Structure 1
Amino acid sequence: MQLRTWIGLIRSLAIYYNPVRQRQLVRFYRDLLSPGQLAFDIGAHVGSRARAMRRAGARVVACEPQEPFVSFLQRSLPSDIVLVRKAVGPTETMAQMSVSSLHPTVSSLSASFAADAAEAPGFGHVRWDRRQQVQVTTLDRLIADHGMPDLVKIDVEGFELDVLAGLSQPLPLVSVEYLPGLPDRTLAVIDRLEELGNYCFNPVAGEDARFLWPDWRDADAARSWLRGLPRDGRSGDLYARAV
């Protein structure tokens, strides 16, 4: 493994395995998931979210195609977490992932993400320096294989809309990463969710593990909030709950 890839793995482990943050995530997921419910972690990376979901009592399916993370997950995840060594997208196929060895959290299957992100605040230091061929499955296939999830977390660096393109029915609860510098991508996700069903929304800033709003709000409120974010603001997760 190249030195840059090792550095990227070590950096991700240092960032995402903060013990305090992990305890906060477990408490957060316990409010969202009842024991025995099913959660999909799409873009599992180093598995911090998958482990927190499991500790909250959920059954977990974790999807991650990127090396060296998928090998790390295969060796380190608890045996009752189902690891799917695939990306998730609109069709079952093979695809090329643009990989940033030093900043692997921003590796993406989106053909346009690297170009768009290069113009956004916070990405000026990132270089996508290699490619990896990955196998792609769909949310519909995962549901057919594992059942309807009670929560789906999607964090796939600009590929969220493509993930939802492989879904033909509404999900009870889903979260997608939002990037303030690229709001149009999340706005398109809101449109797609509305095609599937009726949803209300609530954001989480960064890794705070708490909702920003005291109540769940409609799609127009979520759109207005996204458009009002400073382009150099923190990324986070936008949660959508079926109503």
Structure 2
Amino acid sequence: MDIRTLAGLVRSLVIYRGQPWKQRRLAAFYGELLTPGDLCFDVGAHVGSRSRAMVKAGARVVALEPQPAFLDFLRRFVRSPDIEIVGAAAGSESGRLTLHISRRHPTVTTMSRDWIDTVGKTKAFSSVDWDEAVEVPVTTLDALIEAHGLPRFCKIDVEGLEPDILAGLSQPIPIVAFEYIPEALDGARACIDRLEALGRYRFNWVVGERHKFAEPHWLSAADMQVALTRASANGSGDIYARLEAADDRLSSKSAPGRAPTMLTTP
């Protein structure tokens, strides 16, 4: 492993695993969404912080990671009978694609050249250099469902390829989370539209790593589209989409006297 790749790996470990109290808060947050035995997909597992939090919430996880250095780390150091690691990316169809790696800033590694062209012109990404390219295997959410079953929850964090991944899904998943960033909101908007085409979803969002929902009530797709500009004013985060059929399970985990959609674990 070259020095830049090692530095990038260490940087990610400090950010995502160097603050264990944040991991505990994330697990508690997932505990509001999941019940023991639920299956989850972690698409873009990186150093495994989200997968580990899902397992702490009682879930079983299929974790996808195509970045070679991070895949090697997961296979060496994230050993759990409840986490199955898959060395692949996800996309609209199975095959092989080029992964553009930023060795110093591996959190923004992506398979989307269009995303790089968009965000690379902005101030926030001015210091990022995508300085390595490797070909990686690609699967689809449909193929993962066929192999492992329908998950309760699918988290997607792949720097701009989220719409393509959802294009490889032909049935609704009860809860889906995907990243949004202010510099490239069109991708998040496309994800909202795609999920709305798959089923009747309601939406909310989490700002950064706060691990609590920003809104007390879940929004329609149209209202989420309007709210997205307001959400992005506070930086990047994750949009959560849930099928209305999933409401009963979420409501049963809400505290007495609290509105069912108030999932505000600190």
Q: Give the TM-score range, shorter chain.
A: over 0.9
Aligned residues: 242
Say which SS state the counterpart of residue 210 (structure 1) adopts: coil
TM-score scaled to structure 2, two decimals? 0.89
Aligned to 1:8: 8
- CA deviations 1:177-212 (Å, max 9, x no partner) are 001121111001111111111110010000111111
CA distance in 2, matches of 1:209, 1:138: 27
1:126 — aligned with what?
128
Q: 2:140 aligns with which of 114, 138, 154?
A: 138
* 8 Å contact kept, 1:100–1:127: yes
Could you tell me the percent identity over the aligned residues?
49
2:209 to 189, 207, 210: 207
- 5+ residue gaps, structure 1, are none
Q: Does 1:42 align with 2:78?
A: no
Deviates more, 1:201-210 or 1:116-125: 116-125
* 1:73 aligned onto 2:68: no
Contact 2:115 2:184 survives alignment (8 Å): no
Which residue of structure 2 lines up, in the alignment, with residue 97 of structure 1?
99
| Shift in alpha-carbon separation, 1:145–1:198, aligned structure 2, 3 A | same
The range that moved more, 68-77 or 221-230, is: 221-230
Q: Deviations over 1:84-139 (max 9, x none)?
A: 10000011101101110000010001121111111234111111011011000000
Secondary structure, in 3 states, of the residue corresponding to 2:195? helix
RMSD of aligned residue pairs (Cα, Å): 1.0
1:225 CA displacement: 1.3
TM-superposed deviation, 1:228? 3.3
Deviations 1:47-85 (A, max 9, x none): 000000001100111000102000000011123110010
Answer yes or no: is the 8 Å Cα contact 1:98–1:130 preserved in 2. Answer: yes
**Match of residue 263 from structure 2:** none
Match of 1:174 in 2: 176
Q: Matches of 2:215 and 2:232 in 1, distance apart? A: 18
- Letter in structure 2 aligned against 1:192: R
Check the 8 A contact 1:121/1:181 in 2, yes or no: no
Work out the CA distance in 2 between the residues paired with 1:215 and 1:236: 18
Change (3 A) 1:172 1:227: same
Letter in 1 for 2:218: W
CA distance in 2, matches of 1:230, 1:130: 29
Q: Quick check: 1:101–1:130 contact (8 Å CA) kept in 2?
A: yes
Asked whether the 8 Å contact 1:120–1:182 carries over to 2, the reply is no
Unaligned runs of at least 5 residues, structure 2 = 245-266
Give me the TM-score of the superposition, normalised by structure 1: 0.97
For 1:3, give the aligned amino acid.
I
Deviations 1:13-66 (A, max 9, x none): 000011011000010011100000011000000000000000110011100010
Measured in 2, the distance between the counterparts of 1:164 and 1:174 equals 10
Contact 1:43 1:64 in 2 (8 A): yes
| One-letter identity of the residue aligned with 2:104 | L
Structure 1 residue runs of 4+, over 4 Å off? none
Higher helix share: 2
Contact 2:176/2:241 (<8 A) preserved: yes
- For 1:181 and 1:39, locate their aligned partners in 2 and report how far apart those are by CA, in whole Å: 28
* Residue 261 (structure 2) pairs with residue 221 (structure 1): no
